[in-house]
Structure 1
Amino acid sequence: MNIVFETLLNGLMLGALYALFGLGLSLIFGVMRIANIAHGELVIGGAFMAFSIAGAVHLHPVVLVAIVTALMFAVGWAIQSALINRVLGPDPLRPLLLTFGLSVLTQNLLVEVFGADSRSLDVGAFKTASVVVGQFSLGLLPLVTFGLTLALFGLLHWSLHHSSAGRTVRATADDPEIVALMGVNRRQVFAAVMALSAALAALAGMLLAMRSTVTPFSGAERLLIAFEVVVIGGLGSIWASLAGGLVLGLVHAVSFRVDPASGLLYGHILLLAILLIRPEGLAGRRRTR
């Protein structure tokens, strides 16, 4: 029985990281109605940016995370302002192709600069530290990830509903044409949303690199997990992405315990089942909220 509860708890911890993978993607889709194929490379790009900075300057992990998150916020803003805003329109294929090109380009740049070897972020004893909760021993890093994910989801929800900037984002998501008539520069709103998405993706990438290894080719798998989180939860719904991440994490944790050779197979089966039975996701298709 203890093994069952420990597996479920570990699944929730893993699911929190999955949810963080999907949060930025859900935000982008909910506001701009586009699928960012380069999202996985933003996740891995944040990790490799952290590798570069950590290799040049010795910084406390918290400081490193803050610096990389801020830098990736600027990168996301630049990508949206300089590139994606130029192709937005009634045809969804143009931004899809552009972000696919960005994904391929970023992956090849990472290989050129860093090579294909796997890497991880050195956080010392924090990586293997654990705390005892009742009869269970839980990793401190997964627990911090879980708490941070909940805090970020809650903060984003509060910001969207209780700040003027959040209300502007929600109005832009509902009807960008009407918002533009009211004097709001929707392209700047899109840039801010992409910047936030990139920062969240980078944070997820660094947390991933702290607990395991990544390579320049890891972006595709992270993108797939992010899409599964968003689709399982429900397109355009932020809280549904949290639920989708937790469900997917539980499925992976249980499947790894029962069938260690299965990899991500049962998560893909769950996605297929959701698409066939409830294509709008567990929470249904809703606007960003």
Structure 2
Amino acid sequence: MDWVSTIVNGLLIGSLYGLFGLGLAFAFGIMRIVNVAHGEFIVLAAYIGYFLSTSLGLPPALNVIVVALIGVAIGYLLQAGLLNRVIGADPLRPLILTFGLSIIMRNAMAELFGADLRSIDAGALKTASVDFGGLSIGVLPLVLFVVTAACFGLLFWIIRQTRFGRNIRAAADDADTIEIFGVDHRRIYAAAMGIAIAMSCVAGVLLGMRSGFTPFSGVDRLLIALEVVIIGGAGSMFYTFFGGLLLGVAHLVGLKFDPGSGLLFAHLTFLAVLLFRPQGFAGVRT
């Protein structure tokens, strides 16, 4: 039963890891952009959620929705105002731009918010638990899993079942061709980045509810997001979720053997996948 608890909790934590990678995978799959500032957007969302919670008293569910909507606006403006100007055949230009943006954001957050560890008050969710066949599982980790699964499902539905999703897929395949049909691929890119940042913002608020964060927490989140995306196969949403689950289980298994080696074991798992299947489990973009 002890090992079952470890695996189950690893899957619940891993769902959040998958959500860390979702926005990164989505942006790369559509625009071939590696957003190096991805981790900083997660942390910024955590800070926004923190101040909405403490200043306005927003409940957790409304907090997530409001921060996600703010993320849509930030992502749209980022793509329309900056990234669309440098996106093209050379992938280094948006990479360098987002790298510089990450440095600016990290230092700005440290200046504005200080380096103190903060967390978002999740109320009774933080300590509540439910019993499943003798297995005690925290309500908050279950909520994280459900919200993450809903985000993946919603994004999959948008891409596969809506006209906007068809435009996104067309822009990802051949941005120049869709211009013939009167579709501005730059607006599609901006909307897609808005969705990507919104998913990162949801991950940031959930992170703030689950654990503490500082302005310097973004680097670790970016590393986990990159590992999740690479394990899944760059651009694949379904396998990004699977990659998060795998890393989460590896993390908890590592903690069981040595309390100080959880993330190390997760990183070693990533290296093992990279060694034996460097193209990721998806193999191709989906």
Number of the residue aligned with 1:86: 85
Quote the offset at 1:105 in angstroms: 0.5
The separation in 2 between residues aligned to 1:131 and 1:38, in whole angstroms, is 37
> How far apart, in 2, do the equivalents of 1:69 and 1:97 lie?
26
Partners of 1:259 and 1:56 in 2: CA distance: 40
Instruction: Check whether the contact 2:24–2:38 (CA below 8 A) recurs between aligned residues.
Output: yes
Counterpart-to-counterpart distance in 1, 2:274 and 2:10: 22
What TM-score comes out, normalization by structure 1 length? 0.96
Please give the alpha-carbon distance, in whole angstroms, between the structure 1 residues aligned to 2:262 and 2:219: 15
Indicate the residue corresponding to 1:46 in structure 2. 45
Tell me, in whole angstroms, the C-alpha distance in 2 between the residues paired with 1:68 and 1:252.
28
Partners of 2:274 and 2:284 in 1: CA distance = 12
Match of 2:229 in 1: 230
CA distance in 1, matches of 2:57, 2:272: 47
Judged with a 3 Å threshold, the aligned counterparts in structure 2 of structure 1 residues 61 and 126 are, in CA distance, closer, same or farther, namely: same
Q: Does 1:56 align with 2:73?
A: no
In 2, Cα distance between equivalents of 1:259 and 1:283: 31
Q: How does 1:99-114 map to 2 (within 5 A)?
A: 99-114=98-113
* Aligned-residue identity in percent: 50
| Aligned residue pairs, count | 286
Deviations 1:141-194 (Å, cap 9, x if unpaired)?
110111111122112112111110111101111111211222211111111111
SS of the residue corresponding to residue 261 of structure 1 reads coil
What SS does the corresponding residue of 1:45 show, helix, strand or coil? helix
Alignment of 1:48-197 (within 5 A): 48-197=47-196
SS of match in other structure, 2:212: coil
State the Cα deviation string for residues 17-46 of structure 1 (Å, max 9, x = none): 001101110000100011000000111110
Q: What is the match of residue 207 of structure 1?
A: 206
Give 2:125's aligned amino acid: F
Query: Which string of whole-angstrom CA distances, capped at 9 and with x for unpartnered residues, describes residues 81-125 of structure 1?
Result: 111111011111000000001100000110010000110001222
Alignment of structure 1 residues 235-274 onto 2, 5 Å: 235-274=234-273
Of stretches 181-190 and 218-227 in structure 1, the one that deviates more from structure 2 is 181-190
Instruction: Give the counterpart letter for 2:166 in structure 1.
Output: R
Amino acid at match of 2:92: L
In 2, Cα distance between the equivalents of 1:207 and 1:108? 23
> What secondary structure is seen at the aligned counterpart in 2 of 1:83?
helix
Deviation at 1:62, TM superposition (A): 1.7
Q: Distance in 1 between matches of 2:50 and 2:120?
A: 7
Q: Distance in 2 between matches of 1:239 and 1:22?
A: 11
Please report how far the alpha carbon of residue 55 of structure 1 lies from its aligned counterpart in structure 2 after TM superposition.
Answer: 3.0
Structure 2 unpaired stretches of 5+: none
**Structure 2 letter corresponding to 1:74:** A
CA RMSD of aligned residues (A): 1.0
Q: Give, in whole Å, the separation in 2 of the partners of 1:158 and 1:76.
A: 20
Residues 252, 262 of structure 2: 8 Å contact kept: no
TM-score scaled to structure 2, two decimals? 0.97
Shift of 1:247: 0.6
* Structure 2 counterpart of 1:219: 218
8 A contact 2:106–2:215 mirrored in 1: yes
1:56 Cα offset (Å): 2.3
